[in-house]
Amino acid sequence: MIVQLSQRSISFPPPATALYEPNGLLAVGGDLSPERLMHAYRHGIFPWFGNDDPILWWSPNPRAVFYPEQIHISRSLQKSWRKFPWQISINRCFDAVIEQCAAKRRDQEGTWITDEMQAAYRQLHELGHAHSVEVWCEEQLVGGLYGISVGLAFCGESMFHSQTDASKIALAVFARQFAEHGGTLIDCQVGNPHLTSLGAQNLSRDGFLRRLHDAQNGSLPRSFWAPRLLSEARL
């Protein structure tokens, strides 16, 4: 049974009560206020819905994650890194990244990054919760990703590329930097072959929630999220 959320409370039912089919569907309704969104992410729950749907909330089992120090860097990706004059930045153009992520989905199969979702995550960015990683080549934005920071965890939401390997470069460089500054877990929600090729692993929902809880006992240095170019970025 799917729970209808109240507008008066930001609480959710326990993730263990989510449906088996569709996998992880937990609740419907509520809103995308910063308070509700952050409460959701801190409890392993995220929104995912289309333009014609109500707000749907999910906590799938299993959960796909990266351990940031174990990102797989293939030989072809290393070759691509050496071939082009890549530059990587953090939080320099969040709006452009989320717009490109939405545009890519719209071109391919429709988008769940609706205008409502974009507005909500821009607000989270302004509050210091949502962050972007940008990939540049010859001063052009060619790839990136965005997500939510939760202590020592990062909940990835979407990525895009307009040049081959740019989204992989974004993830690989970010993961290295994240691990070096104390980050312990990157949530990628539901696995796929692309993520698996980079080293994503499946965790049981209970295992994921334990690691997410532990990650909230610490935090990255505030300077990590300062808008900047990563001048010493490397794979």
Per residue in 3-45, pLDDT (tens digit) is 999 888 999 999 999 999 999 999 999 999 999 999 999 999 9
Instruction: Please say if the pLDDT value at position 205 is more than 60.
Output: yes
**CA dist 126 to 78, 121, 158, Å?**
34, 9, 18
The model's confidence at residue 193, banded by pLDDT at 50, 70 and 90, is confident
Task: Give residue-wise pLDDT tens across range 34-83.
Answer: 999 999 999 999 999 988 899 999 999 999 999 999 998 999 999 999 99
Q: CA nearest 12: which of 50, 55, 63, 65?
A: 55
pTM for this predicted structure = 0.95
Q: What does pLDDT average to over the chain? A: 93
- The 3-state DSSP class for residue 64 equals strand
Torsion of CA 101, 23, 55, 91, to 10 degrees: -30
- C-alpha 171/C-alpha 40 separation (Å) is 23
